[in-house]
Amino acid sequence: MIEPKKNTTQKRKPNPQVIPGMGRLQPQAPELEEVVLGALMLEKDAYSLVSDILKPECFYDPIHRIIYTAVVDLAMNQKPVDMLTVTEQLRRKGELDEVGGAFYISQLTTKVLSAAHIDYHARIIAQKYLARELITFTSNIQTKAYEDSMDVDDLMQEAEGKLFEISQQNLKKDVVQVNVIIKEALDNIQIAANQKDGLSGLSSGFHGLDKMTSGWQKSDLVIIAARPAMGKTAFVLSMAKNMGVDRGEPVAVFSLEMSNVQLVNRLISNVCELAGEKIKNGQLNDMEWEQLFYKIKVLNDAPIFVDDTPSLSVFELRTKARRLVREHGVKCLIIDYLQLMNASGMTYGSREQEVSIISRSLKGLAKELNVPIIALSQLNRGVENRSGTGADGKRPQLSDLRESGAIEQDADMVCFIHRPEYYKIFEDDKGNSLIGMAELIIAKHRNGPVGDVRLRFKGEYAKFMNPEDDRIPMPAGFGGSTFSSKMNTQSSDGAMASTPESDFLNRKDDQVPF
């Protein structure tokens, strides 16, 4: 007799998020919502534990949302929060019957014995809310993606902006006791003390600037502002060269104004000290070609990363910056320039508000990544319209920052580039020559002094340098270029150190390939 085959197929466990015939339920925790509301009305200090975690919209049940709003109203007016005051607040607003009357309020207090775990429960409710926001967000994007009339680029910008908003809601940091921070501060002081140059931050390569700032500090937002043709890009490229080539520090440059090839051409002109016009048209003589190929070697392995995405959004920047810091250990971000960025997908009513959102986001990104962010900014025409004679007549001021006062507010440091020579001012009040000189004016410094730093500017090379740098001219016929006197620097054993410049000068004629 053959026995019937037993059914060995295992029954699938029911998914609590799926109701047969009704689809899926959104992420929610109504029981925890009741527990949290009950705890808020039992413990007088409970609201302070959840105020930075929960917003009314975090509650899935509309009734719970109304009750929590009443709790927030009481707390904001510094009134006690308990069963009676919440009931009276709801009655005053005409919402008591809508939530089930005083009986439902009293029932909530029976759901919990104490507020011992209220912060943990609140975080679960907040996570459920963020999950619902993501579901709504992706559903809307999917619906719009099916519409033929929707421009894909606009849709991507909207998606980036909304996703950035949602991700920002999840960036919460816990309070830390001061002793932990003191230990970190002491470690930083010890590191600075061990540095030969006494810097606690990232060196810019400009001695006077480093002395006033102790280097660019981690988590700082630095604004470098100037009118067009003052040399904003030349300044940050000179600084990127000092960091990446001379010191080997990884640095990233986001160029919204120029292509990556144009930017690198200016960097080549800076490093090789060849006129930018010759780099562009290729009209170099034999010695200049030799100089180009010889000195460009230092750029090949320099940890300088360039991104030329036009109209870069805040979300795109954040995504790329995180990857650069994580994968390449980038120590500094440079943005050229702030007003060309956009906050696509985010809510704003005017261009001024959009710039405010951008500057605030840059400061938040600097803190999140713990690296300095140096953003270039345009100035308005107030400088040109200002009357005055002498070297100080056209000096920029904080009020000249273009489009938004929030830039000044959000920045840890605001610096202006001023070249009197541009305004046909060739001498200062004491008769000193200002030809080829530039001033970096530190107008705001949240953690240090303000003042002026003198620099030398070589426009033909798009290069800023320390005014005290000793320069030794090259032999005639070498394109008028100059090399630093560091080629005569002694090594640690007392011997003369070899540099590319000294090697080139010491070669015999038969070693030159021309």
Exactly one of 88, 95, 165, 257 is catalytic; name it.
257
Of 266, 214, 250, nearest to 464 by C-alpha is 266
Residue 470: DSSP 8-state: -
What backbone phi and psi angles, to 5 degrees, belong to 182?
-60, -40
Is there a catalytic annotation at residue 277?
A: no
Q: Measured between alpha carbons, how far is 226 from 233 in angstroms, rounded to an integer?
A: 10
Of 215, 181, 203, 178, nearest to 447 by C-alpha is 215
Please return the burial class of 20, using the count of CB atoms within 10 Å of its CB with bins 0-12, 13-18 and 19+: exposed
Contact 461, 274 (CB under 8 A): yes
Q: Measured between alpha carbons, how far is 64 from 99 in angstroms, rounded to an integer?
A: 8
Question: What b/e sequence results for 491-513 when a residue is b if at least 16 CB atoms lie within 10 Å of its CB, and e otherwise?
Answer: eeeeeeeeeebbebeeeeeeeee
Is the Cα torsion angle 422, 426, 428, 429 positive or negative in sign? negative
Question: What b/e sequence results for 346-379 when a residue is b if at least 16 CB atoms lie within 10 Å of its CB, and e otherwise?
Answer: beeeeeebbbbbbbbbbbbbbbbbebbbbbbbbb
Contact 407, 362 (CB under 8 A): no
The owner of tokens 């605030």 is: 360
Phi/psi region, residue 383 (left: phi>0; alpha: psi -120 to 50; beta: rest), is alpha
Q: Measured between alpha carbons, how far is 98 from 61 in angstroms, rounded to an integer?
A: 12
Q: Where are the alpha helices (DSSP H) in 386-427?
A: 406-410
Of 265, 270, 267, nearest to 281 by C-alpha is 265
Residues in CB range of 294: below 8 A, 6 or more apart: 500, 504
- Establish how many alpha carbons lie within 13 A of residue 371's alpha carbon, considering only the half-sphere containing its beta carbon: 21
- Whether residue 337 has a cis bond before it, omega within 30° of 0: yes
Contact 417, 227 (CB under 8 A): no
Q: How far is CA 305 from CA 53, 141, 265, 401, in A?
A: 38, 32, 14, 28
Which residues are known to be catalytic? 257
